[in-house]
């Protein structure tokens, strides 16, 4: 069924600098659902190294793809299934070769690590890069370069993950009877976490509004995970006790996950299956593109109307 309707744009989108999506109940439902998952992720950081928790976040991409194929009717093609398998293999390899979490049990120990010169220099560099991106590059190139907004999210992610790790230690200390609420670091970590997550959500929404989702998620995953792993190495020194074999295995597992996420997202609209694979390979042509979304908005162009006077007309296919 095709329904034509003239829909005026009554609120600004994230890519235009607005926050009209905050009025959408479905956006809030998705945000709250994602918040539940992040709460579980929060707990994982309290009991496992960030070097292993963050890369395993690719499993959420895998599960989302599988559930979408069943619940939303989206097609998971051959390359997508291969990407899922690679993500599982890479995750398994990373778990096998995972580093041991350095024992940090109190906020005083966490505070001493945050004050180390190496981490202070690293944090200063991240802040300078972040301010440069937000105040200089984003206003000029954010609308045209996909790396600007995603780099902001990834750089800020280093502070959010560090804060989550510290708050996990604080929560464990609270239940063991330590006076964590009187420690100033607890509130510093809370403020840092709220500010960093708010900034990440803002710029990730901007990026999703402007650029193709198939490009946003793989690039964001690679940038975010790389920066978090680097932060974890500098702050917690989780790789100090690892053997060469474990280091190589962890890196190979991470690269395998990256390849799986790339295959899952970059080619998700291509109609590639075992049935038509020989024809695609023999013809040497690009596989046909399928549009599996239940609601696809296609803006209809009308060249007879001036751009500034042109009404917004959308065709909704269901």
What's the whole-number mean pLDDT along residues 205-214? 80
pLDDT tier for residue 305 given thresholds of 50, 70 and 90: very low
Which of 236, 209, 30 shows the shortest CA–CA distance to 116? 236
Q: Residue 174 pLDDT > 60, yes or no?
A: yes
Structure confidence by residue, pLDDT tens digits, 86-120: 888 888 888 888 776 666 778 888 888 888 998 99
Q: Which of 179, 268, 170 is nearest to 218 (CA)?
A: 268
Q: What is the mean pLDDT of the chain?
A: 75
pLDDT of res. 126: 93
Model confidence pLDDT, tens digit, residues 245-299: 888 988 898 888 888 888 877 776 677 666 666 666 666 555 555 544 433 433 4
Residue 152 has a pLDDT of: 93
* pLDDT value at residue 55: 75
Rounded Cα distance, 77 and 98, in Å: 31
Tokens representing 16?
A: 């235009």
pLDDT, position 85: 85
**DSSP structure class, residue 270:** B
28-72 tens-digit pLDDT? 887 788 778 777 777 777 777 777 787 777 777 777 777 777 776
Q: How far apart are CA 124 and CA 166, in angstroms?
A: 19
pLDDT at 313 over 80: no
- Spatial neighbors of 110 by CB under 8 A, at least 6 apart, are 104, 165, 166, 169, 185
What does the pLDDT read at residue 149?
Answer: 92
pLDDT for 208: 81
Which pLDDT belongs to residue 15? 53
Q: Which of 63-67, 180-184, 239-243, 302-306 has the highest mean pLDDT?
A: 180-184
Secondary structure element (H or E) that encloses residue 51, with its range: helix 50-53
Q: Residue 315 has what pLDDT? A: 38
Please name which of 25, 22, 2 lies closest in space to residue 12, comparing C-alpha atoms: 22
Residue 307 has a pLDDT of: 44
Q: What pLDDT is stored for residue 9 in this prediction?
A: 42
Which string of b and e fits 82-121 if b means at least 16 CB within 10 Å? bbbebbbebbebbeebbbebbebebbeebeebbeeeebee
> How is residue 31 written in tokens?
């945000």
Domain edges within the chain:
48-101+242-287, 102-237
Average pLDDT over residues 3-26: 56
| 4-to-8, 191, 259, 313, 318 alpha-carbon distances in Å | 13, 47, 40, 8, 11
Residue 214 has what pLDDT?
A: 67
Pairwise pLDDT comparison (123 vs 238), residue with the higher score: 123
Instruction: Give the residue, 74 or 84, on which the prediction is more confident.
Output: 84
pTM of the predicted model over 0.75? no
């Amino acid at each position: 069924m095709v329904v034509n309707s003239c829909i005026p744009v009554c609120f600004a989108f994230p890519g235009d600098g607005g926050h009209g999506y905050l009025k959408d109940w479905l956006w809030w439902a998705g945000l709250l659902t994602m918040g539940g998952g992040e709460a579980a992720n929060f707990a994982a950081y309290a009991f496992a190294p960030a070097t292993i928790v963050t890369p395993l976040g690719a499993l959420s991409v895998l599960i989302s793809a599988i559930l979408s194929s069943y619940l939303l009717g989206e097609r998971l093609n051959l390359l997508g299934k291969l990407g899922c398998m690679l993500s599982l293999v890479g995750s398994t390899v990373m778990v096998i070769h995972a580093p041991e979490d350095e024992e940090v049990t109190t906020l005083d120990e966490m505070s001493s690590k945050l004050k180390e010169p190496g981490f202070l220099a690293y944090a200063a560099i991240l802040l300078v890069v972040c301010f440069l991106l937000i105040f200089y590059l984003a206003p000029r190139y954010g609308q045209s370069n996909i790396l600007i907004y995603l780099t902001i999210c990834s750089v800020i992610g280093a502070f959010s993950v560090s804060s989550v790790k510290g708050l996990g230690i604080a929560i464990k200390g609270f239940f063991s009877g330590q006076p964590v609420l009187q420690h100033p670091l607890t509130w510093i970590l809370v403020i840092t976490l709220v500010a960093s997550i708010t900034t990440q959500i803002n710029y990730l929404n901007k990026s999703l509004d402007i650029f193709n989702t198939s490009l946003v998620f793989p690039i964001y995953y690679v940038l975010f995970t790389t920066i978090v792993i680097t932060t974890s190495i500098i702050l917690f020194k989780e790789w100090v006790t690892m053997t060469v074999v474990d280091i190589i295995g962890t890196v190979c597992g991470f690269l395998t996950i990256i390849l799986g996420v790339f295959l899952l997202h970059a080619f998700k609209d291509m109609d590639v299956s075992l049935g038509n694979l020989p024809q695609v390979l023999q013809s040497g042509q690009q596989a046909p593109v399928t549009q599996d979304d239940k609601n696809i908005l296609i803006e209809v162009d009308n060249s007879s109307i001036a751009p500034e006077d042109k009404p917004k007309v959308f065709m909704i296919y269901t």
